[in-house]
Amino acid sequence: MNTDHSTIALSDAVWMRMAAPHVAWVCIDRPQARNAVNAAVAQGLEAAIDRCESDPDTWVTVLTGAGPDAFCAGADLKEVAAGRSDALWTERGGFAGITSRERRKPWIAAVQGKALAGGTEIALACDLIVASENAGFGLPEVLRGLIAAAGGLVRLPRAIPPRLAMEHILTGRPITVQQALQWGMVSRVVPSEALAGAALALANEIASNAPVAVRESLRLARLALDHDEAALRRLSQEAIERVKASEDFQEGPRAFIEKRAPRWTGR
């Protein structure tokens, strides 16, 4: 993968660049359509995940949308009305090429403006969400005779208190950014002009840690609600063994003893 700050076009609607060492920046770039998902978005996001997962020097990815008004407005209804809704899904990634995709590495959604319907589902598919003060979320599908079938009905009750999630799912009522912060759906809220810097700072903080340990911690944390304690203990032990087998497991203590910053390799 390109390690300078040049931009790589992954489709007509998605580009990426390396924003910092080990940090990729991916952008949905359809501001004229409020970054709504069409085939180019789905194909581009799938390509972005492929690149980030396969590149050993990419440890964290930030996902954002172009323009000040919308992170993503969900499915492009013009595409749906034209009978092209299947193109908004990919075989491996699901809706937008991301909502069902397995990933080993952390993704941060940097949400400016509205993330509605599929936009909320894309944000929830990421591991962390940083939002601007003008951000907003919601699953309004029931207002249109639809359901949030791209993970929203499952992930929202895990991201906020379940009864509150149920209320917003069944009414289609929007979630304000302050509600999202209060309920723990987003990590932090910042002024719009500070969003990129805040998301990048969080990504850099994660990328300063041992990548193998981060990946194993992420994998186990994602499973925390899906297994009983006995299974989680077993999975934890398996994760520990994989971490112990890494070069970084030796580097951490060595750097501490030598009173220097660790030099992680991700191996």
How is residue 81 annotated by DSSP? Answer: H
49 and 103 Cβ atoms separated by less than 8 Å: yes
State whether the Cα torsion 237-240-246-250 is positive or negative.
negative
Q: What's the pLDDT score for residue 120?
A: 98
Q: What is the mean pLDDT of the chain?
A: 93
Instruction: List helix spans (H) across the chain.
Output: 39-54, 77-81, 118-125, 152-159, 162-171, 177-182, 195-207, 211-222, 229-244, 247-257
Q: What's the pLDDT score for residue 4?
A: 52
pLDDT per residue as tens digits for the range 169-201: 999 999 999 999 999 999 999 999 999 999 999
Task: Please give the positions annotated as active site.
Answer: 121, 141
49 and 93 Cβ atoms separated by less than 8 Å: yes
| 1 confidence band (pLDDT: 50, 70, 90) | very low
**pLDDT at 255 > cutoff 90:** no
**pLDDT at 137 > cutoff 70:** yes
Superfamily designation of domain 8-207:
2-enoyl-CoA Hydratase; Chain A, domain 1 (3.90.226.10)
pLDDT per residue as tens digits for the range 196-236: 999 999 999 999 999 999 999 999 999 888 888 898 888 88
**pLDDT at 3 > cutoff 60:** no
CA distances from 74 to 115, 129, 162, 188, 242 (A): 7, 17, 23, 22, 38
| 138 confidence band (pLDDT: 50, 70, 90) | very high
pLDDT per residue as tens digits for the range 5-53: 689 999 999 999 999 999 999 999 999 999 999 999 999 999 999 999 9
pLDDT over 70 for what percent of the chain?
A: 98
The CA distance from 55 to 24, in Å, is 10
Domain-wise residue ranges, the chain: 8-207, 211-257
Is-above-0.85 flag for pTM? Answer: yes
